C-alpha cells in the first residue's frame, strides 16, 4: 500500500474527504517525527512502541576488497510490535 492508497482508505473508513485524510496523515507523521526527534518514545496501544536508539560506531569490512571502514554512530528508530498485533499476524497465511 502506498501513501495515496492509505489516504483513500482513511477517507473511506473515517468518512473524511481525501484532503482531510491527507492532512490527518501528514499531521500524524509530523507529530511522531517530532516526538522521536526529541528523544521520546511513542506507544500506540494495539500497534506497538517506537523509540530512538543510538547505534555505536563500528568497523565494517568490505568482503571483496577487505578494506576496513569506520561507520560513525547514528540514531535509528526501533519498533517493537504489541502482542495484539503479533497475535493478529500469527495466523496470516503466507
Domain count, the chain: 2
Give the residue numbers spanning the domain of 5. 1-40
What span, in angstroms and rounded, lies between the C-alpha atoms of 46 and 80?
A: 11
Domain-located, residue 70: yes
Q: Please indicate, yes or no, whether residues 16 and 34 belong to a single structural domain of this protein.
A: yes
Residues 4-33, mean pLDDT to the nearest whole number: 95
- pTM for the whole thing? 0.78
Residue 92 confidence (pLDDT) above 90: no
pLDDT of the residue at 94: 76
Q: Please indicate, yes or no, whether residues 54 and 94 belong to a single structural domain of this protein.
A: yes
Q: Please indicate, yes or no, whether residues 55 and 35 belong to a single structural domain of this protein.
A: no
pLDDT of the residue at 90: 87
Q: Strand ranges (DSSP E) for 1-94? A: 42-44, 48-55, 58-61, 68-71, 74-81
Q: Please indicate, yes or no, whether residues 35 and 56 belong to a single structural domain of this protein.
A: no
Q: Please indicate, yes or no, whether residues 90 and 55 belong to a single structural domain of this protein.
A: yes
Q: Please, which residues have CB within 8 angstroms of residue 89's CB and are 6 or more apart in sequence?
A: 81
What span, in angstroms and rounded, lies between the C-alpha atoms of 19 and 35?
A: 24
The length of the chain, given as a count of residues: 94
What span, in angstroms and rounded, lies between the C-alpha atoms of 67 and 70?
A: 10
Amino acid at each position: 500500500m502506498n501513501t495515496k492508497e492509505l489516504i483513500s482508505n482513511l477517507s473511506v473508513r473515517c468518512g473524511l474527504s481525501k484532503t482531510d485524510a491527507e492532512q490527518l496523515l501528514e499531521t500524524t507523521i509530523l507529530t511522531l517525527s517530532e516526538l522521536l526527534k526529541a528523544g521520546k518514545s511513542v506507544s500506540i496501544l494495539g500497534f506497538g512502541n517506537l523509540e530512538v536508539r543510538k547505534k555505536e560506531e563500528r568497523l565494517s569490512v568490505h568482503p571483496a576488497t577487505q578494506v576496513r571502514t569506520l561507520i560513525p554512530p547514528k540514531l535509528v528508530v526501533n519498533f517493537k510490535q504489541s502482542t495484539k498485533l503479533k497475535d493478529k499476524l500469527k495466523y496470516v497465511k503466507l
